[in-house]
């Protein structure tokens, strides 16, 4: 009996041992990747270029007045910008040079320096990218240019001579593209780009929110204490 009991115990131990053996897991199946599907995303068409020449100004002013009564009161007081429209345009190179010269100077002083620089280039008819690039640093200094503004004008002249800039290129760019292109030039910032786009390219959808006069006018008109940079993000 003892032998029989011992055999049974051994059998149970064997069962326990067999049960306790860890079975080897089968190797993991290689992950199957879904085939790549090429999704073509349609890009938004570029916004149409709106200029004052292509705009029905009376209709546009009427729409602004209807949408904004406060602005409408100002529009009725000032009237349509008919006189301004006739002055818009001109040579883009000269306009950008003027924006560089006029930076941080009074209008009277800047106008005198611009006239002297043009004269140093051989007169207004010779005030071209080629003529400006031939202007020596000494001649620019005598005309009233700082060394920094002289460098800016030289870089601008080179951009026109190399074909990076031209009247055709600037007029064909969207407002955003034009801003990016102009601000990539040395000496041309956001304010200068806005002024150029409005008064040389006649772009109608430009708000120069960095202009001090515009900021003061907005605060006075709308009685807001909000920073103009914050307001510009909603325009």
pLDDT digits (tens, 9 = 90+) for 197-227: 999 998 988 888 888 888 888 888 988 765 6
pLDDT at 8: 52
Residue 55 has a CB neighbour count (10 Å cut-off) of 15
Residue 41 has a CB neighbour count (10 Å cut-off) of 4
- What average pLDDT does range 87-101 have in this prediction? 91
Query: Structure pTM?
Result: 0.71
Say how many CA atoms lie within 13 Å of 9 toward its Cβ: 6
Chain-centroid distance, C-alpha 227: 20
pLDDT at 235: 47
Q: Which of 165, 105, 106, 156 is nearest to 131 (CA)?
A: 156
Which of 16-25, 54-63, 85-94 comes out lowest in average pLDDT?
16-25
Please tell me whether residue 39 adopts helix, strand or coil conformation: coil
**What gap in Å lies between CA 61 and CA 188, rounded to an integer?**
30
Please enumerate in sequence order all residues whose Cβ is within 8 A of that of 235, keeping only pairs 6 or more positions apart, or say none: 207, 209
């Amino acid at each position: 009996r003892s032998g029989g009991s011992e055999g049974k115990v051994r059998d149970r131990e064997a069962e326990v041992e067999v049960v306790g053996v860890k079975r080897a897991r089968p190797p993991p199946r290689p992950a199957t990747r879904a085939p790549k599907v090429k999704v073509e995303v349609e890009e938004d068409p570029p916004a149409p270029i709106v200029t004052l020449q292509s705009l029905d100004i009376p209709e546009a002013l009427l729409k602004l007045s209807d949408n904004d009564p406060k602005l409408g009161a100002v529009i009725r007081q000032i009237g349509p910008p008919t006189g301004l429209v006739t002055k818009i345009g001109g040579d883009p190179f000269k306009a950008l040079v003027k924006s560089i010269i006029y930076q941080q100077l009074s209008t009277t002083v800047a106008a005198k320096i611009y006239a002297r620089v043009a004269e140093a280039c051989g007169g207004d008819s010779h005030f071209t990218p080629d003529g400006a690039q031939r202007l020596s640093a000494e001649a620019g200094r005598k005309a009233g240019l700082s060394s920094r503004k002289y460098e800016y004008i030289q870089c601008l002249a080179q951009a026109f001579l190399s074909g990076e800039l031209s009247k055709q290129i600037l007029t064909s760019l969207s407002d955003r593209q034009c801003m990016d292109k102009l601000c990539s030039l040395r000496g041309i910032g956001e304010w200068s780009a806005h002024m150029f786009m409005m008064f040389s390219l006649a772009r109608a959808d430009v708000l120069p929110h960095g202009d001090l006069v515009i900021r003061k006018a907005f605060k006075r008109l709308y009685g807001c204490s909000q920073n103009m940079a914050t307001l510009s993000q909603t325009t």
